[in-house]
Amino acid sequence: MTGETTDDATVGNNVQAEAPFYHEGAPQAFQRLWTPHRMVYIGGQNKPSDNTPAQCPFCTGPERGDEESLIVHRGRTGYVIMNLYPYNTGHLLVCPYRHISDWTEATVAEREEIGELTATAMSVVRSVSHPHGFNLGMNQGEVAGAGIAAHLHQHIVPRWKGDANFMPIIGRSKPVPQLLGEQRDMLASAWAIHVQEPGD
């Protein structure tokens, strides 16, 4: 039976390998979407080596220029930055300047401004990219999916009809058709216009 192949199993050297479970009508589990830029993140090259502010990208980012750090807007207690490894085009993060890890550690002023920045970010992204909806959320702790668990950050993920649902976006790579620097420039310009317009 060596080398014999059946519909649901392969037999070789008296070892049988069962075919993976597949439910009729479900999408294949291993459709491939090549996103080699994410290997830097997956391989850990850009991940902090510890939880200190010196290693934290959300602490060191504001120390550099906006274009270099992909910062869209700086507020009083927090700022808005492009996600370097986005789930979708225009994926933003709202971060406090302080190196805190939990929503309960944020001051009243920080909570209020994170809310204000989130609302403004949604309006700005709508004016630039016209999404049909958003996913908003904070992952608190590594077990909850936080990539940088040591520094609080809120995700703002634009969504369009027909794109993948939220779980595959988190679990797998997704193509981003526009360079992050170009997105940052467009959003920063739109943000400046938005805050100058009264009544928004």
**DSSP state letters, 23-74:** -TTSPPTT-----GGGHHHHTTTTS-SSSSGGG-HHHHGGGS-HHHHTEEEE
pLDDT at 11 (0 to 100): 46
**CB atoms closer than 10 angstroms to residue 169:** 18
pLDDT (tens, 9 = 90+) of the chain, 200 residues, equals: 444 444 444 445 565 555 554 545 555 554 444 455 555 555 555 677 788 899 999 999 999 999 999 999 999 999 999 998 888 889 999 999 999 999 999 999 999 999 999 999 999 999 999 999 999 999 998 888 888 899 999 999 999 887 765 545 455 545 555 678 888 888 988 888 887 765 54
* Residue 184 dihedral angles phi and psi, to the nearest 5°: -60, -45
Partner residues linked to 11 by β-bridges: 16
**DSSP state letters, 153-195:** -EEEEEE-TTSPPHHHHHHS-----S-HHHHHHHHHHHHHHHH
Binding residues for substrate: 83, 155
Residue 90 tokens read as 């225009």
Hey, what domains does the chain have and what are their CATH numbers?
36-196 (3.30.428.10)
The tens digit of pLDDT for each residue in 3-38 reads 444 444 444 556 555 555 454 555 555 444 445 555
pLDDT at 9 (0 to 100): 46
Residue 81 tokens read as 């930055």
Catalytic residue among 73, 91, 151, 153: 153
pLDDT at 84 (0 to 100): 86
For tokens 């014999």, name the residue.
4
For tokens 């996913």, name the residue.
135
194 catalytic per annotation: no
> What is the C-alpha separation between 185 and 200, in angstroms, rounded?
21
Q: What count of residues does the chain have?
A: 200
